[in-house]
Structure 1
Amino acid sequence: MTDLSDDRDSGHLAPQSDAADVEELEPHLPSTAAAVHEVIRRAGEKEMDRDGMALMWSAIAGGITMATSFMARGLLHAHLPETEVGFLFEAMGYTVGFIFVICAGQQLFTENTVTPVLPLMSQPRLSKLWRVLRLWGIVLAGNTIGGAVAAAVFAWMPLFDAETSESFAQIGLHLIGKPAGEMFAGGIVSGWLIATLVWAMAAAPQARLPLIFLATWIISLGDFPHVVAGTVEVLYLVFLGNEGLVAVLGEFWLPTLAGNVIGGTLIFALVAHAQVRADVEAHPSDHGGSGAGKMGDGGMGKAKGAPPRGAP
């Protein structure tokens, strides 16, 4: 049996077992959402504690792997007829990189717009904020470096025929020339969808493959920009000499980055945390009526039905 106790120092519900999934935690918490929140919060703490170089290499690998979305979509675009049905299948290629990166456990920036933010919201402190910003900076830099390496290889190495190379260029061009406001708004949607995906995978890990496919297929169908996947696409144009780096930064990268962060953090993570906080505060008798266990002060509180501290 899992022993759950109120840990004031760490600011969260602290299980005495090595690991616990949603099913194990749910009986001890007021709702399924609270159990999902706790699983993601722990994952965020773990990621923030990782060595910086380990994070960087994982993020670089993630950026390179994300290029498989660009490659798969370009190959499908080159070989499928230009019809509505063809577009539906082409959009499926976009899901490939996300499936590989997430299933391989590599770092992806947009996953981190929600995962490390929940520990910060549970225990808002400057030290936590610094750890979140450190993680974001390392992962974003690594994803960008990895994406740039892949884009350079695609642009400069004789890997693909002329038709496929032209398809790559067309895919990249659809991200250039749009108003920054449009990129920002689309980035909010894609950031929100990825955050929703993180939450759903924690709730139903056995369904992670179809969940990744559906969420990222919708992103592709809606043409919602994603800062990591899109970086490969636009840098391909830069390495070909078709676009300037400054234009790419201003028209795509910065507004999309801002949108992804707001969609994942300020919208999804805040709302998800708010519902769990409301659950905990609505059941004070189940979580230590003294108030020591409230979120943001003492974490998720004392677990429902948990034995007293020090009990076997």
Structure 2
Amino acid sequence: MADSPPADRADHDDDLKAADARELHRTVREAGEDEMRRPARSLFWSGLAAGIAISTSLLTEAALHRALPDTPWRELVAALGYPIGFLIVILGRMQLFTESTITAMLPLVTRPSGRAAMATLRLWGIVLFANLIGTAIAGYAIAHGIIGDAALREAALAVSDKITELSAGRTIVNAIPAGFLIAIVAWVLPNAREQSFWVILAFTYALTIAGFSHSVVGSAEAFTLMFAGRIDLAQTLGGLIAPAVLGNLIGGAGIFALLAHAQVRGEMTETPS
């Protein structure tokens, strides 16, 4: 049987893990503080760009869906197109609502105040609004054949139809793990800079093959269906987008961010900025 590591070495390893966790918490928290200090105009244009760019997830997935034969494995291969939009947005440092659930939440739970709450809500509101305008523009372009040909449009509608299979309540539940997974991406990226591509690819691919609901990509799908006449505005906003937003918030800000903060709360000695 292998010898157990010396007690002092084990204690040292535990100290390093605690220090790493505190440093990661500080890095992500300060990133959120920087985002909340940005002018509203900057947040809006970055969020708008992200909304348009994230729609490439739908387009790439639709292109693969169109090119592949109708087999049981088609969805698994077509799902490889889903991470493309996330790679563009996250590596391009654009403002994505679900990524900001944890970065904006950590400053609030570290130093709760009315001012911090308003700053968090301001960031979320501007970024989400801009993301949705961007996905609405992309959805209109896809539905009306401005982007791609008729075959790509039909493939995009076929891919998007899956989101209508869930009720509003089921969409909320289905969106919780999606918010949790994207919050994990935002949490681990500072320690995985050289592996950022693979981290984003792995987590977002897992998200889509599991069938979880992401509010921003899902809004691109919902707007595409709406502009194609498949669903109405009430179902688009109230039945699909709003439940996904709520579920993502619960998973990202309500569960993962609080857990990430709880693991270091008792060890924090610095005064939050």
Q: State the TM-score, normalizing by the size of structure 2.
A: 0.91
Unpaired stretches in structure 2, ≥5 consecutive residues: 1-14
**For residues 153-199 of structure 1, what are the alpha-carbon distances to aligned partners after superposition, in whole Å with 9 as ceiling and x for unaligned?**
11223443333221111112111141222211111000000001111
Which consecutive segments of 4 or more residues in structure 1 shift more than 3 A? Answer: 27-30
| Structure 1, unaligned runs of 5 or more | 1-26, 281-286, 288-292, 301-312
Aligned-partner Cα distance in 1 for 2:208–2:17: 36
The offset of 1:254, in angstroms, is: 1.4
Instruction: Determine if the alignment matches structure 1 residue 99 to structure 2 residue 87.
Output: yes
Do the aligned partners of residues 91 and 278 (structure 1) sit closer, same or farther apart at CA in structure 2, a change above 3 Å counting? same
- 1:139 equivalent to 2:112? Answer no
Letter in 2 for 1:147: T
**CA distance, structure 2, for counterparts of residue 28 and residue 43 of structure 1:** 22
The offset of 1:82, in angstroms, is 2.4
Whole-angstrom distance in 1 between the partners of 2:252 and 2:50: 19
Name 2:272's counterpart in structure 1.
Answer: 299
Tell me which of 157, 175, 193 is aligned to 2:163: 175
Q: CA-to-partner distance for each residue in 1:52-111, whole Å, 9 max, x for gaps?
A: 001000000000001100100000001112223322210110000000000111100001
State the identity %: 37
CA drift of 1:231 comes to 0.6
Q: In structure 2, how many angstroms separate the alpha carbons of the residues matched to 1:220 and 1:91?
A: 6
Contact 1:29 1:35 in 2 (8 A): no
- Shift of the alpha carbon at 1:248? 1.6
1:279 and 2:244 correspond: no
Aligned position for 2:245: 257
CA distance in 2, matches of 1:63, 1:176: 21
Rg larger in 1 or in 2?
A: 1
CA offsets 1:16-43 (integer angstroms, 9 cap, x no match): xxxxxxxxxxx99942111110000110
> Is 1:59–1:106's contact at 8 Å kept on the other side of the alignment?
yes
**Residue 240 (structure 1) aligns with:** 228
CA displacement, residues 191-212 of structure 1 (integer Å, 9 cap, x when unaligned): 0000011111022222111000
Q: How does 1:109-148 map to 2 (within 5 A)?
A: 109-148=97-136
The answer to whether 1:225 aligns with 2:213 is yes
Say which SS state the counterpart of residue 124 (structure 1) adopts. Answer: coil
Q: Secondary structure at the match of 1:32?
A: helix
Give secondary structure in 1 for the equivalent of 2:230: coil
Coordinate RMSD, CA, aligned: 1.7
Conservation of the 8 A alpha-carbon contact between 1:177 and 1:251: no
Matched letter for residue 143 of structure 1: N
Aligned residue runs from structure 1 range 36-185, under 5 A: 36-185=24-173
Aligned to 2:201: 213
Amino acid at match of 1:87: E
Equivalent-residue separation in structure 1 for 2:20 and 2:43 (angstroms): 30
Query: Quick one: distance in 2 between partners of 1:277 and 1:267?
Result: 15
Structure 1 window deviating more from structure 2 (153-162 vs 166-175): it is 153-162
Normalising by structure 1, we get a TM-score of: 0.80
Q: Distance in 2 between matches of 1:204 and 1:278?
A: 25
Count residues in correspondence: 259
SS at match of 1:202: helix
Contact 1:154 1:236 in 2 (8 A): yes
- Preserved CA contact (<8 Å) 2:145 2:153: no
